[in-house]
Structure 1
Amino acid sequence: MSDNREQFRPADHPTDSFLLTTVVGSYPKPKWLNRAEDVHEGDEYDFPAEHLHEAHDDACRVITNEHERAGLDAVVDGEMRRNEMVEFFAHRIDGYEFNGPVKVWGHNYFDKPSVTEEVAYDEPWLVDEFEFTTGVADRSVKVPITGPYTLANWSFNEAYDDEEELAYDLADLVNEEVEKLVEAGARYIQIDEPALATTPDDHAIVGECLEHIVAGIPDDVRIGLHVCYGDYSRVYPEINEFPIDEFDVELCNGDYEQIEVFADGDFEPDLALGVTDAHVAEVESVEEIKENIRKGFEVVPPERLTVSPDCGLKLLPREVAYGKMENMVQAAREVEAELDAGEIEVGYAGAGAPADD
């Protein structure tokens, strides 16, 4: 782990303290983009691929700008070109096939892919997306990638002896993609592994996958790991051994009951803390978010805290998603000013003092 965080501090940042603000990835799509995708997929109208491509470009411009208006330090295009987090990548990896949707819960369906032969890397998955976003952004751009363990765990394995072998091959492909993103200028990569904290004892596989992914990647590239639900005690303290700069957790939705898992004074990576609830369609107040941010100081000092929503915001009304981001940034800026003024006593576990509530 290296100190590669300062590169995301805006040149005009008003305080000495700096809480890096970002989003996890997904964001509500404009209704007109949803309509354009439906029309393109249907038979009633002629809506060719180049028209849909233009619609995606326009949506990326709009959402990237929306993130910057909210004041985020590191922005994402809201994953405007993506559908489901496994399906999007499976369509781009040789060896995957699709056989129709699978019911996952309630009335929700997931087009679960099958691995029918050895996976292989063909064309870049995200480089064009990243280059377009950096071309329209004034802030640093973060790139979320679904991790190899989740890509393996959420697919039918019909080609490999076991899921572990598949995950390692997929990790090598993710490494190829990250190398190409780095060549294109990416300096903030987030690996999404929602399957990690739901399955006991597989932290060793994820750790090995991450070793594959970061092999040969320069130290100035920030590598985050996002794990958005589950029992974190299953993966901690083992994640201290992972080759990551930042561990991104969903704790707001659980009212921070699991913060104690990490507050032992030995937490190694930076903490990316969810401080707004992605599952609640209400905008938290600035004061409430400030209280949530201070929860992070029970685990790490301010210079190691990243502030974000719990998870992707794509299922929320767009005005609610924007309100959460805007209040989150305002809360972070106010906490920074209070830190500069000495108004917050930071007592994270490693400092041997109680945290300020």
Structure 2
Amino acid sequence: MNYQTHILGYPRIGAQRELKWALEKFWRGEIDASQLEQQGRELRKTHWREQADAGLDFVSVGDFSFYDQVLDTACQFGIVPARYGVNSANLSLTEYFTLARGNQQHAPLALTKWLDTNYHYLVPELADDCEFKLNTNRLLAEIKEALNEGHCVKPVILGPVTLLSLCQLEGKSTTTPLSRLNELLPIYVELLENIQRLGVSWVQIDEPIFCTDLAPDQQLALSRAYENLSGVEGINILLATYFGEVRNHLNLLLTLPVAGIHIDASQCDEDAIRAAKYLGSQKVLSLGIVDGRNVWLNDLQVSHQLVEKIRHHVDDSQIWLASSCSLQYVPHTVANESNLEPQLRSWLSFARQKLDEIVQLAQPLESLLPAIEANQLVLAEKLLTAGVIDSAVRERLAEELPNIDRNRTSYQQRKHKQQAALQLPLLPSTTIGSFPQTKEIRKARAQYLSGQISAADYQQFLQAETRECIHKQEEAGIDVLVHGEFERNDMVEYFASQLAGFASTSAGWVQSYGSRCTKPPLIWGDVSRLQSMTLDWVKFAQSITNKPVKGMLTGTTTILQWSFLRNDIPRRHVSQQIALALRDEVLELEANGVQIIQVDEAALREGLPLRNDKQADYLDESVDSFLITTSGVREETQIHTHMCYSQFNAIYESIIALDADVISIEATRNQMKLLDVFSQSAYPNQIGPGVWDIHSPRVPSVAEIKSLIKKALYYIPAEQLWINPDCGLKTRGWLETEASMKNLVSACREIRAELCESAITH
């Protein structure tokens, strides 16, 4: 046995979120570019050392980014819109962050979800006159850093076909991004030649698009691309696929003239076995045998058995063992989780532990056996742990689910009763839910959790923050208010802390985009509601205003997508358990006089399977869970939902099936283009497309917001349109929030006046 070991990428934010803190200091002007670069070097050095110390044969280089790897790749090849007025060959960090975050003069690039993950990438814009040119300064410098540390280096590059498939065309171009492939390939060749001159022989090129339903032009592009790239002398290409099954594209993958292929064996071991069977004797097969997207202990016995099956078809020297995908989607290390129950902690494997699992699986069987025995004991004990199976939860599901009527009365009938109850103006304004989580709020939460202040003092502090938030919304003129969610550290973790079957980590941070990190909860057992979760805060907020205050919940699918899901029962069973718990909460809110209840499904589109034939089951499960949660309310109760950056075409019918009275969506960075599908099919209910990009610190002007509202009115009748930001305001500051909120209301009022004047004139 002589298996080579590696990973496809490593978390970049640092075990203590060092990158996050450094980025935010740089943006505040507290450190300069050289200090930020130094922090980057220190993190890379630490991460390479962790990989080498674990025993990996290669360390991955090029997986680090100060914001986003897709943006880095676009800049590396000169794909930078001319409107920013920057030179991509000599891009400063300030200019780089302008592309990512915008400033008062420039809106940022569009932001959307990376395939079916909760990671966001910046969408490259490709203009007809864009001239591809190579800027290798950063990547080559990082390769040299790793070589100087004595590491065996494997650079990681996003492949040309996936890159172009992610691009959107700038302006009114009539071409397609893939039509530019022949111009881009020589630049990739030049990059590989530069890497080869540094003495590096293996390069990982990522083409995750292989795990989607490839169009014919994409298949041709992949063939053409790797016929060109494989001709670089001295470079061995490891073509990496991940996030699912290769399936019918396996023949194409095997026929490409590359030195090796990587298969996501954690998602489909059949792909790996078929690949081994037809691989031939000259190529490497990298097995993504350790799941890079979940946090549970690898079943070493199952993984070892798969490797043994592969050995029937290829020589040991052709087998590499790896993570299924980059490890950036899991937290850094279990070692920092001192507050978890020891038993639960023993079930976990974060990025650092996954390195050990990969190296263990590369050992000869006699060395591996003790680890397998210990591993199997832990997995067996897990199944017997109280709470993993809760008979009361399962009996309730079996009894109640078949009897829940998922159908509400018609929307038209509900609409009139809701308007009579709420008396809202034309183009009602609202916000999505959260308001700025200031340093003072975070400090008070930390003091409460550490016992430095009492529960009563903390409650009093949060009530004061909520009262001020209501006052500021009223002062701005917002029509439908929210309480601000100051008691919540996270829109998923807050609910997880009050549901049986969940656990929260203390340091399990994962990058969402830039400096934004999330801490996904762990779903380890059967789920039920332990107590009322939201009622007290919405009741308090409603007691200090005459305007309606929304009850705020996170929906089932979003909780599932933004948690680490248990892997021992079907996902649908977990979905039903959560939906029933949330139904209890919704009915309690309504019984206590809450007239508007928002059930956020921010991640519904994100979780859509990459393969078309798996999408119907997923959408059916998602819609059913939403209806379980919301269908029990009266006609007068208005149900809202919210969805994050998405392409809605594939889920439009499911959005209608949710039957929410009002849906709000992120639309600013796409200039309302997302509304096209809602217009074409005459969306029947009400919709609030975002008119204020909350992912950027800039304050949109009244004119900008009016322009977006007018674009929205092109697609949506005024009677169905709501005015709101793109998303929650948790990460923004109060100064920009208040200014933006007032501009939003001013724009809304001016448009209302124009509509009224137009109606009178006509």
Give the number of the structure with larger relative contact order, counting CA–CA contacts within 8 Å between residues 6 or more apart. Answer: 1
User: In the TM superposition, what whole-angstrom CA distance separates every residue of 1:228-263 from its partner, at most 9, and x where no partner exists?
Assistant: 122222211331222211121100022223222222
Match of 1:8 among 422, 432, 441: 422
Distance 1:345 1:321 in 2: 36
Contact 2:435 2:728 in 1 (8 A): yes
Does 2:696 correspond to 1:280? yes
Q: Is the 8 A contact 1:29 1:59 kept in 2?
A: no
Find the aligned partners of 1:328 and 1:225 in 2 and give their Cα distance.
20
Give how far 1:343 is off.
Answer: 6.9
Q: Which runs of 5+ in 1 are unaligned?
A: 11-16, 347-357
1:24 aligns with 2:432: yes
Q: Please state if 1:322 is matched with 2:730.
A: no
1:80 partnered with 2:486: yes
Equivalent position of 2:168 in the other structure: none
Alpha carbons 2:642, 2:664 under 8 Å: kept: yes
Measured after TM superposition, the shift of residue 107 of structure 1 is 5.7
Partner of 2:758: 342
Counterparts of 2:636 and 2:710 in 1: how far apart (Å)? 28
Q: Does 1:147 align with 2:558?
A: no
Q: Is the Cα–Cα contact under 8 Å of residues 20 and 307 in structure 1 kept in the other structure?
A: yes
Higher Cα radius of gyration: 2
Percent identity, please.
27
* TM-aligned CA deviation for residue 300 of structure 1: 2.2
Deviation at 1:218, TM superposition (A): 0.3
Following the alignment from structure 1 to structure 2, what is the Cα–Cα distance between the partners of residues 281 and 315?
Answer: 9
* 1:5–1:226 CA distance, 2 compared to 1 (3 A): farther
CA distance in 2, matches of 1:294, 1:8: 25
Which of these residues, 95, 103, 128, is aligned with residue 536 of structure 2?
Answer: 128
Q: What secondary structure does 1:288 align onto?
A: helix
1:63 has 2:483 as partner: no
1:164: which partner in 2? Answer: 572
Counterpart of 1:236 in structure 2: which amino acid?
Answer: Y
2:519 matched residue in structure 1: 111
Pick closer, same or farther for the CA change 1:243–1:33 going to 2, 3 Å.
same
Q: Say if 1:101 and 1:110, in contact at 8 Å, map to a contact too.
A: no
Supply the distance in 1 between the matched residues of 2:529 and 2:446 (Cα, whole angstroms). 29
Indicate conservation of the 8 Å contact 1:160/1:166, yes or no.
Answer: no
Could you say which residue in structure 1 is the equivalent of 2:715?
A: 299
Match among 183, 189, 198 for residue 597 of structure 2: 189
Could you tell me how far apart the structure 1 residues matched to 2:498 and 2:582 are? Answer: 12
Looking at structure 2, the residues matched to 98 and 329 of structure 1 have their Cα atoms a distance apart, in angstroms, of 38
**Structure-2 change in CA distance of 1:28 and 1:56 (3 Å):** same
RMSD: 2.1
**2:517 corresponds to 1:101:** no
Q: Distance in 1 between matches of 2:423 and 2:739?
A: 22
Number of matched pairs: 338
Instruction: Single out whichever of 302-311 and 278-287 deviates more from structure 2.
Output: 278-287
Distance 2:711 2:576 in 1: 35
Cα distance in structure 2, aligned partners of 1:340 and 1:199:
41
SS at match of 2:669: coil
List runs of 5+ in structure 2 lacking aligned partners: 1-410, 609-614
Q: For the Cα contact (< 8 Å) 1:223–1:246, is it kept in 2?
A: yes
Give the Cα–Cα distance (whole angstroms) in 2 for the partners of residues 117 and 309 of structure 1: 36
Q: Which has the higher helix share?
A: 2
Give how far 1:267 is off: 1.1
Mark the CA change 1:109 to 1:266 in structure 2 (over 3 Å): closer, same or farther: closer
The 3-state SS of whatever aligns with 1:296 is helix
SS at match of 1:164: helix
Q: CA deviation at 1:108?
A: 5.1
Match status 1:35 vs 2:423: no
The residue identity in structure 2 corresponding to 1:217 is V
What residue is the counterpart of 2:661 in the other structure?
A: 245
What CA distance in whole angstroms lies between the structure 2 residues aligned with 1:91 and 1:9?
A: 36
Contact 2:437 2:731 in 1 (8 A): no
Letter in 2 for 1:273: P
Q: Is this contact kept in 2: 1:9–1:73, CA < 8 A?
A: no
**Given the superposition, is the C-alpha separation of residues 18 and 157 from structure 1 closer, same or farther in structure 2, using an over 3 Å criterion?**
same
After the TM superposition, which parts of structure 1 deviate over 6 Å for at least 4 consecutive aligned residues?
343-346
Q: Would you tell me which structure has more strand in proportion to its own residues?
A: 1
**TM-superposed deviation, 1:276:** 0.9
Tell me if structure 2 keeps the 8 A contact 1:281–1:320.
yes
Judged with a 3 Å threshold, the aligned counterparts in structure 2 of structure 1 residues 145 and 345 are, in CA distance, closer, same or farther, namely: farther
